Amino acid sequence: MRQVNSEKRFVNSEKRFKAICAVIMILFAAFCVLPFILMISASITEESALMNFGYKFIPKKLSFDAYKYLWAKRETIGRAYYITIIVTLIGTTLNVIITSMFAYPLSRTDFKPRHFFAFFIFFTMLFNGGMTASYIIWTQFFHIKNTIWALLLPNYLMSGMNVLLVRNYYVGSIPTSILEAARIDGASEMKIYRRVLLPLSKPVIITVAMFAGMAYWNDWSNAMYYITNQKLYSINAYLNNLQNNIKLLSMQSSMTEGINLQGLSLPTIGARMAIAMIAVLPVLVIFPFIQAELIKGVVIGGVKG
């Protein structure tokens, strides 16, 4: 009887624990979702209602002036989207290749200088030369200003954290016996990397690609420092510039690029929310499809080191 009672208490306590965890997770999910709902609501609320009543989950008065304003700039925004997609695809591909190739020798126990290079990578995560030194090097020596390379090379081409993450995955998840068997069969190191290592590293590769892709997609600082030609603006750089100047544009009776906006009140607060929606929408669409692999890559790659 005593054992049955103890089992019942254990079952009841486990149910209470699961219920508490479920409530906590629901609250966390609500905290994540509610800002997006508020952002959508504010983007379709009339400017005067936002000024008088503030942000509301249910719009006081519907207005699509913010999206009409952005639609009027569709050619410029479309070009910015095109540049962002190209930069994100190329930058993410280069980042994954460089990161995975750098991590491979660091995972090999027979590579003697691996500790030195691992420390070198870790050191770059703590210290850097500063923005002034970086700007001088990139503009005076590499001459990337006002070129597409300014959006690709600085800051995001390789991350020390990603290198260590991939190295830990190689060490903890890929048996050395597989690599030795491939080497005995006459495979070169490059062939082992392409035919053995990469196919077995799908979770961590997707994770690194997601991190790199998010960094390139959300970047606006490189354009702010190295780009003065607006035709080379990425979507976030363009929208950030648009947001900073939208109050000035609202005082004009017509927009740039020869488009007449007479009768359309240019939004300010609502436009910021519409800008945020445009910038975040592709990420929201892509993320659910790679969520499982992303979590798996982070968990496995972050356990050992």
In this predicted structure, what is the pLDDT of residue 264? 46
231: Cα within 13 Å, side-chain hemisphere = 3
pLDDT for 255 equals 47
| Domain segments of the chain as ranges | 66-305
Out of 89-93, 124-128, 212-216, least confident range: 124-128
Q: What pLDDT does 8 receive?
A: 67
Paired tokens of 255: 């927009």
Give the three-state DSSP class for 45.
Answer: strand
Please check the confidence at residue 38 and state whether its pLDDT lies above 70. yes
Residues whose CB is less than 8 angstroms from the CB of residue 58 and which lie 6 or more positions away in sequence, other chains included: 41
Query: How far apart, in whole angstroms, are the C-alpha atoms of residue 302 and residue 71?
Result: 43
* CATH number of this structure's domain 66-305: 1.10.3720.10
pLDDT value at position 267? 56
Q: How far apart are CA 124 and CA 34, in angstroms?
A: 37
Q: Are 167 and 103 in contact (CB under 8 A)?
A: yes
* Token pair of 206 as six digits: 């997707």
- Amino acid code (one letter) for 30: A
Query: pLDDT, tens digit, for every residue of 172-229?
Result: 888 888 888 888 888 888 888 888 888 888 888 888 888 898 899 888 889 889 998 8
Dihedral angle sign, alpha carbons of residues 94, 100, 104, 106: positive
Instruction: Encode pLDDT of 129-158 as tens digits.
Output: 788 888 888 999 899 999 999 999 998 888
Cα atoms in the 13 Å half-sphere on the side-chain side of 69: 31
pLDDT at 54: 75
Average pLDDT in the 25-30 region? 87
The dihedral built from the CA positions of residue 8, 11, 13 and 16, taken in this order, carries a sign that is negative
pLDDT per residue over 242-277, tens digit each? 777 765 665 554 444 444 444 444 556 777 788 778
pLDDT of residue 96: 93
Q: Is the pLDDT of residue 294 over 70?
A: no
pTM score of the predicted model: 0.76
To the nearest whole number, what is the mean pLDDT of the chain? 80
If we measure between CA atoms, which residue out of 214, 213, 112, 121 comes closest to residue 167?
Answer: 121
Return the residue matching tokens 């290749």: 97
pLDDT value of residue 149: 92
Between 26 and 124, the more confident residue is 26
